[in-house]
């Protein structure tokens, strides 16, 4: 009816189906009908139009360190470093403020986010209640944050009235805040410049889970570090047995059982029967 070839795409079909179910549910509540005929109608699953971009990336510790060494001179480096160590979402690392850091007690609190839908929203809340957590401020992170604070002080003097004041840790040299979509593009361009595999910023969080699992952490420990609401999320969505982990598992099972022996002189009654 809109003059275009073909039918509705899957997203539109799913949206219409949800609206129809809602309308008919209200009709049931108002007693116009006895039941919702659309309740159990199957709808198509979302199609992956780009299988390459939809594929999650799980780095090993060696691969992550190779990436970190390559990105050391990039402006995006501090965000990447903090994100992969703590398994932070992009919204969480961008939402870090200086009042979340206690350099005396050596703690780092995850309590704010920066997200972009149609507009950029700065929130003093996290994605879920379980996402709000306090980490130990690791020595390497402490040194990095102190260096960032000193650099911000120098930038304030250099840019003078052109400097944008804020409480956020990760800012551009002139103090302006990073755009979430800009961080994604900057990260991917930096990877391309250094000949590193293509990945999304969120794949840093995937890699954190995989690396922790490689180090022998159990599901509950990884769940706590990534601040998932339930262990199923950790298991079903994020946790990935990397090639390195599979190699370790193979090494562990090697020699567990006796060596194979094939005796070609077995009696006929010892052979597997076709009957």
Q: Evaluate whether 184 touches 90 at the Cβ level (below 8 Å).
A: yes
User: What is the pTM assigned to this prediction?
Assistant: 0.68
Q: Evaluate whether 233 touches 225 at the Cβ level (below 8 Å).
A: no
* Residue 245 forms part of a structural domain: no
126-181 pLDDT tens trace: 555 556 889 999 999 999 999 999 999 999 999 999 999 999 999 999 999 998 88
Q: How many residues are given for the chain?
A: 275
Q: Evaluate whether 190 touches 204 at the Cβ level (below 8 Å).
A: no
Clarify whether residues 24 and 75 are in a common domain: no
Clarify whether residues 154 and 182 are in a common domain: yes
pLDDT over 70 at 15, yes or no: yes
Clarify whether residues 43 and 72 are in a common domain: no
Clarify whether residues 86 and 20 are in a common domain: no
CA distance 91 to 273: 63
CA distance 27 to 36: 8
* Residue 216 forms part of a structural domain: yes
The pLDDT value recorded for residue 120 is 60
Q: Evaluate whether 244 touches 214 at the Cβ level (below 8 Å).
A: yes
Clarify whether residues 105 and 65 are in a common domain: yes
> What's the whole-number mean pLDDT along residues 229-238?
68
Clarify whether residues 136 and 33 are in a common domain: no
CA distance 89 to 83: 7
* Residue 265 forms part of a structural domain: no
* Residue 62 forms part of a structural domain: yes
78-116 pLDDT tens trace: 999 999 999 999 999 999 999 999 999 999 999 888 876
Highest mean pLDDT: which range of 220-224, 229-233, 261-265 = 220-224
* Residue 263 forms part of a structural domain: no
Clarify whether residues 107 and 26 are in a common domain: no
What count of other Cβ atoms lies within 10 Å of the Cβ of residue 216?
Answer: 9
Kindly report the CATH number assigned to the domain that includes residue 98. Answer: 1.10.443.10
3 state DSSP class of 110: strand
Clarify whether residues 80 and 27 are in a common domain: no
Clarify whether residues 62 and 43 are in a common domain: no
Clarify whether residues 14 and 86 are in a common domain: no
* Residue 244 forms part of a structural domain: no
Residue 99's domain spans which residues?
A: 53-238
The pLDDT value recorded for residue 142 is 95
3 state DSSP class of 173: coil
pLDDT over 70 at 30, yes or no: yes
Clarify whether residues 165 and 83 are in a common domain: yes
The pLDDT value recorded for residue 246 is 66
H or E element at residue 37: none
* Residue 171 forms part of a structural domain: yes
Structure-model confidence comparison of residues 130 and 250, the more confident one: 250
pLDDT over 50 at 51, yes or no: no
Clarify whether residues 209 and 73 are in a common domain: yes
Q: 232: closest CA among 244, 222, 241?
A: 222
* Residue 108 forms part of a structural domain: yes
Query: What is the number of structural domains in the chain?
Result: 2
CA distance 71 to 185: 14
């Amino acid at each position: 009816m809109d003059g275009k070839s073909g039918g509705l795409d899957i997203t539109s079909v799913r949206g219409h189906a949800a609206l129809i179910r809602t309308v008919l549910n209200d009709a049931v509540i108002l007693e116009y009908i006895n039941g919702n005929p659309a309740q159990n109608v199957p709808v198509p699953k979302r199609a992956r139009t780009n299988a390459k971009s939809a594929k999650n990336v799980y780095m090993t510790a060696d691969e992550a360190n190779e990436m970190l060494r390559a990105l050391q001179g990039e402006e995006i480096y501090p965000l990447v470093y903090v994100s992969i160590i703590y398994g932070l979402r992009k919204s969480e690392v961008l939402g870090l403020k200086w009042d979340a850091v206690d350099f005396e007690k050596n703690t780092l609190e995850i309590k704010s986010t920066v997200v972009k839908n149609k507009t950029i929203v700065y929130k003093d809340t996290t994605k879920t209640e379980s996402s709000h957590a306090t980490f130990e401020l690791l020595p390497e992170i402490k040194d990095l944050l102190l260096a960032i604070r000193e650099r911000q002080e120098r930038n304030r003097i250099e840019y003078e009235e052109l400097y944008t004041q804020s409480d956020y840790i990760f800012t551009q040299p002139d103090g302006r805040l990073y755009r979430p979509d800009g961080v994604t593009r900057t990260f991917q361009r930096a990877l391309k410049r250094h000949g590193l595999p293509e990945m999304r910023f969120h794949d840093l969080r995937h890699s954190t889970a995989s690396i922790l699992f490689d180090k022998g952490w159990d599901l509950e420990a990884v769940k706590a570090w990534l601040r998932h609401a339930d262990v199923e999320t950790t298991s079903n969505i994020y946790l990935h047995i990397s090639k390195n982990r599979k190699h370790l598992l193979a090494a562990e099972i090697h020699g567990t059982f006796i060596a194979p022996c094939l005796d070609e002189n077995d009696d006929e009654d010892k052979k597997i029967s076709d009957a």
